[in-house]
Each structure stands twice: as structure tokens, then as C-alpha cells.
Structure 1
């Protein structure tokens, strides 16, 4: 007779909760003040945890920082796999329409704004610093998506351009789409609004399709 799985103890549950709070607090604090200004004491206080919890769960401040980046990378990779599934086919046979659909899905992921705003600030800071956290997120989530989209762009356009040029142009389109998150205030000011409404989203979709159908990728 198979034994029942052992239920987690109260200590294990509290320990997992403390670890989760430390990760969330690290993203929030470092996104606000940067890595150097975020002392372990500040991080522990923000997580409502004992200072000893950081070495106990992570080893140190740097390891905690990279664990926070890993959490974001894992989430982003999971969302980007949705884009890869659209590129792989499904009901749509036309590679151009698959490519457009994949980028429009990326647009909706960005506009969805499902993640905490602190994640955007955290990633923006580590991207600006080009540090280990950025390398981790880029290598595990962003780079595979760029490469996948660049391969689809080459197949779609039968382009004779070098791979590096295609990746650069795909990255440029991705940057335009990402600007709706990272330059949210500027985009909202350009449409004289406080939020992205349905009509505006439709305009953004048209813009992405126009980019895909132009000579930009060729």
C-alpha cells in the first residue's frame, strides 16, 4: 500500500513563506534604490524577516539578488514559451501570419501588466548595469525568444541578410513592443490617456502588423 505524502510541517511552511517574502522584497527594494544601496538589513526589514534569514536561505546578498533574477527569468521564459508555440504552427499555416500573431501576443503580454510593477524597475536597473542578474534573465528568457523570432523572420521573408542583422531588427521590434511597459508614461502621454484602452490596443496591433509587413525585416 502506497504511503501518503507527508504534509509540510509548520516550520517548512513558514520557511518557504520567509523565502518568498525575501525574494519579493529584494525585487521591490533593488528596483527602487539599486543593488548597492540595498543593504541586507534593509532587505530583511522590507521582508519583515530576521537578518539571519538571508544567509540561511540564500547564503548572502548577491545570491539573494540572483535568486530574485532567476524567479523573473523563470516567469518570463514561461510566458515566452506561449510565443514559441504560436511560431511552431497550430491552426495558422502562413508563416507571416504566425510571425505577426506571435509578436501581437508579446504585445498583449506587455499590455496585460500582470506582474508587479517592481519587476519592471528591477529589470530596468539590472539591464542598465548589465550585471549578472541581467545576464541571467537575458540568457535564459530574452535571448532564446530573440533567436526564435529571428529564425521565424528569416523563414518568413526569405531574407538574404546576415543572421546578426535579422536578430538586430527583430530586437528593434521587440524594443518597440517593450516600450509600452518600460516607457509607459511616454506612450500614455502620446495618446493623451491614463491607461491603454481597447481602441488604442487595436492601433498598437496595426502598428506591429505594419512593421512585420514592411521591408524592415528584409
Structure 2
């Protein structure tokens, strides 16, 4: 991970700036080429830094890749931590209503959907994550993303779905329902380019984002309410 050795405040700040430039350059190059094809020379040149600086801050190419994953995780939690905490509170509250549990799930999914909106730097991290999900990354990156991000979301969504269905949290149908609910919204990110082409859009601005969000969350709401009705019928 990062090393902070400069002895003066100015040196420390320059070091942090260099480290940030390397991370952003690495996300761009890894996204364009994948982990194996990307070279530390290309990354350093894109960042306007030298190769020894990359080794100093990250050790090697894998260390830099993991720093990119950490950067993305921090960005994801900046959007998702608050709704995740609300969902965890609903999950832990035995008196929560089905409506509150459904809203808790939708609160998380709403922010996941927001990731398809075009914002500064979004294209680079989307390409980076697409490469990672295609397996073009070191195995350690999958472990880091699972441990630091995916497991928490999966745990709370599955727990709420279990409460809505009346099934055990480790029941196969609970797992399948939770996975289906989550992938309904993730599909908008994975298939983002196909969506743009189908709609004739050149980008996803805030207004288009809200249109997608409203439609997708309506579908999920209907699905969750349907699970509650099935539980009642049973």
C-alpha cells in the first residue's frame, strides 16, 4: 500500500499528488488493456511520473492494481454506506414492516443504479471494472472487492429478502431471489452501452438517470411485493 516518507509538508503533498496521478492513470490503462497487457512504463508515462515512483508507492503492478480497487471501493461506499446502514438497521429491527424492508432494499439499489450516470472520471472506472469482471485482473483483486464491498451488500439484501419471503437466509430460493433482485439493477451498468444504443442516447445525464431509476425500482418493488404476497398465501 502507500508509503509516506517525505519529511516536509510540501514533499508530502507532492507525494500524495504523484500517488493519485498514478492511480488515475493506472485505472485508465488497466481499463484499456487489462491487467496482463498493461505495462508499468505506460502507466507511469500516462501519469507523467517515472517508473521508480510507481515502485516506491505501490511495490509492483499488482500493488498498483489493488490500490485502484481500493480507490473504487472508497468511491462506492461514499454513495452506498448511508443506504446500507439504513438497510442494516431495518434488518436488525424485528418490528420493521414489510414496506420498510422493501424501501431499505430499494435505497441500496437506487444508489447502485446511479453508477451508470455520466460523471467526471466515470468512464475510466467503468472500463476498469468491466475488465475485472471479465477476469482480466489478479485473483487478489476479486478477494479484495468481495471482502471490502460485495459481502456486506449481499448479506443485508439477502437478509431482508429472507424476512420478506419468510424463508431461511441460507435457503436456496432466498439466495436466488436476492441475486435476481440485485442483478436486475446491475444489468443496467453491465449492459450500459447496449442501453444507450437501443435508446439512441449518447450519454446518461441526470434526467435520463432518473428515468432509468424510476422504472427499474418500480420493477424491483413489484417483485418484492410479490414475494410478500406469496409468503402470505403460503
| TM-score with structure 1 setting the length | 0.83
Q: 1:13 corresponds to which residue?
A: 13
Structure 1 portions without partners, runs of 5+: 1-6
- State the alpha-carbon separation in 2 of the partners of residues 15 and 35 from structure 1: 24
Q: 1:108 aligns with which of 107, 110, 120?
A: 110
Would the alpha carbon gap of residues 98 and 81 (structure 1) be closer, same or farther in structure 2, given more than 3 Å must change? farther
Asked if structure 1 preserves the Cα contact closer than 8 Å seen for 2:30 and 2:128, the reply is yes
- Equivalences for 1:144-155 in 2 at 5 Å? 144-155=152-163
Structure 1 segments of 4 or more deviating over 4 A?
A: 189-194
Q: 1:201 corresponds to which residue?
A: 213
Give deviations 1:134-166, integer Å, cap 9, x for gaps. 221122101111011111111222125743442
- Equivalences for 1:142-181 in 2 at 5 Å? 142-160=150-168, 162-181=170-189
Asked if structure 2 preserves the Cα contact closer than 8 Å seen for 1:80 and 1:145, the reply is no
- State the alpha-carbon separation in 2 of the partners of residues 99 and 38 from structure 1: 44
- State the alpha-carbon separation in 1 of the partners of residues 68 and 169 from structure 2: 38
Tell me the number of residue pairs that the alignment of Structure 1 and Structure 2 aligns.
Answer: 211
- State the alpha-carbon separation in 2 of the partners of residues 15 and 72 from structure 1: 20
CA RMSD of aligned residues (A): 2.8
- State the alpha-carbon separation in 2 of the partners of residues 172 and 183 from structure 1: 16
Q: Which has the higher helix share?
A: 2
- State the alpha-carbon separation in 2 of the partners of residues 200 and 140 from structure 1: 28
| TM-score with structure 2 setting the length | 0.78
By how many angstroms is 1:106 displaced? Answer: 3.1
- State the alpha-carbon separation in 1 of the partners of residues 169 and 160 from structure 2: 14
- State the alpha-carbon separation in 1 of the partners of residues 38 and 129 from structure 2: 15
Q: 2:3 corresponds to which residue?
A: none
